[in-house]
Structure 1
């Protein structure tokens, strides 16, 4: 499957890990088909408890907003339908994948697609970047900034833009045509010194 057709997702959460009882409080997602945004998904979700003042300040999502939101179970059922069998992308994907796995397990839903991490790939493709945080990469590739970081849909939109910039750079530098999703997964695990050799062979 092509690397430019997938679902980019981002969670805002009540804390760092579902292992400690944390839940998702917002999900945002962007569907790319052949490098073009064709659909989006965004929803706040009520985790069933109050979030901390730190999380309110970090995300801009308040307890008042969440009190009016549908339950995690309702939102995640809708998102599972939206996702279908698409492959998935997230920035620092291990974090988002943990919450996706946890929330879907609670409603007995699964997903068929595979995950890739744009942060790991960016460490290979944009080796000269000052660091590989989302905000830094947005500046590095000159994406227009028109929203608020740490809101799920905006972060997903920015991640999609960075992903497409990486694919464009690989195509320009190595003369690639179609780049498979599985190739980008493998690239995320290649040592930095071997990136050129790996990409020259695809």
Structure 2
């Protein structure tokens, strides 16, 4: 399998867009090394604004919980250290990437690695799945679950297990010895009908 370390992360936020002033309210992340979780990072954070009732109900995170949480900049500085220069993974990565980049800019840090999107990759690895939401894939692949969807660390852990599952299944299906990160990035952009040819060619080139 791919033995390079990756950080799988998930944010809960006040809304859908940092460009519209939305902020992060929780981060959860796991470090995967040698295809197992070796470290975790989780924190609520005070965004400096009240969250609406929809977000409270969706995440289970309340304004009372955030009142005494550390401020976003304090947590993001710590989280930047946790990220280091590891490859990054998220489910629906464009969402998390926008928030990560926006919050890192606020503390004068920047992302140094690309994101792989486990949702885009899962559409190519598991085309038979009923859909490619994280909850559905966890059921489809019988992935270990806490049942606590829409909390950051639980979602990050389940996405991490999905990532390892996809690497394992690519190896077994296409007889690929190693699944490098750049292959996963490229796979997320391949037209779905072209996936078998793409992976068979990679396996041949790998020798």
The aligned residue for residue 37 of structure 1 is 37
The aligned residue for residue 205 of structure 2 is none
Task: Provide the C-alpha distance between the structure 1 equivalents of 2:146 and 2:52, rounded to a whole number of angstroms.
Answer: 27
Contact 2:3 2:33 in 1 (8 A): no
Deviation of 1:3 after TM superposition, in Å, equals: 6.8
Instruction: Describe the SS at the equivalent of 2:48.
Output: coil
TM-score (norm 2): 0.95
* Structure 2 stretches lacking a partner, 5+ long: 203-207
1:23-172 equivalence runs, <5 A: 23-172=23-172
Task: Provide the C-alpha distance between the structure 1 equivalents of 2:20 and 2:133, rounded to a whole number of angstroms.
Answer: 25
| Deviation readout 1:54-98 (Å, 9 max, x if unpaired) | 100000000000001000000000000000000100000000000
Deviation of 1:167 after TM superposition, in Å, equals: 0.7
Instruction: Describe the SS at the equivalent of 2:177.
Output: coil
The aligned residue for residue 8 of structure 1 is 8
Task: Provide the C-alpha distance between the structure 2 equivalents of 1:49 and 1:74, rounded to a whole number of angstroms.
Answer: 16
Contact 2:10 2:28 in 1 (8 A): yes
Runs of 4+ in 1 over 3 A off after TM superposition: none
CA RMSD of aligned residues (A): 1.0
Instruction: Describe the SS at the equivalent of 2:41.
Output: strand
* Structure 1 stretches lacking a partner, 5+ long: none
